[in-house]
Amino acid sequence: MTTNKPHEIIRMQIAIDTPYVTIAEFVVRSGQSKSAVERAIKTGQYLIRPKEEGSKSAVLINMVHMTMEAAAQAERALVRVQAGQ
């Protein structure tokens, strides 16, 4: 992320190694407990890949959505910092 002026457009390039990860992998990557991740899924904080009712396939967390959310959060924080300058 680079910016030099308060109103300059921010450009980012983010590489996502996989679009979805299992809960177990997300626990490792995030450092959160499994119960915290499951709670976030249940409350809709984490977007998961839809699956057919009754399916026994693994729950997969959408990492594209997580990355977009993180980028938006970073941009909002940068705007607040620039507004305070």
* Residue 51 resides in a domain: yes
* Residue 69 resides in a domain: yes
Q: Model's pTM, two decimal places? A: 0.77
In order along its 85 residues, the chain shows pLDDT tens digits of: 555 555 666 677 888 999 999 999 999 999 999 999 999 999 999 999 999 999 999 999 999 999 999 988 988 888 888 887 6
Res 7: pLDDT: 62
Amino acid at residue number 79 = V
The count of domains in the chain is 1
Res 60: pLDDT: 98
* Residue 3 resides in a domain: no
* Residue 36 resides in a domain: yes
Sequence-separated (6 or more) residues with CB below 8 Å from residue 77: none
Q: First-to-last CA distance in the chain?
A: 18
Question: Using CA atoms, how far apart are residues 32 and 49, in angstroms rounded to an integer?
Answer: 20
* Residue 13 resides in a domain: no
Query: Measured between alpha carbons, how far is residue 83 from residues 5, 8, 12, 77 in Å?
Result: 11, 13, 20, 10
* Residue 62 resides in a domain: yes
Enclosing domain of residue 38: 20-83
* Residue 66 resides in a domain: yes
Res 6: pLDDT: 57
Res 49: pLDDT: 96
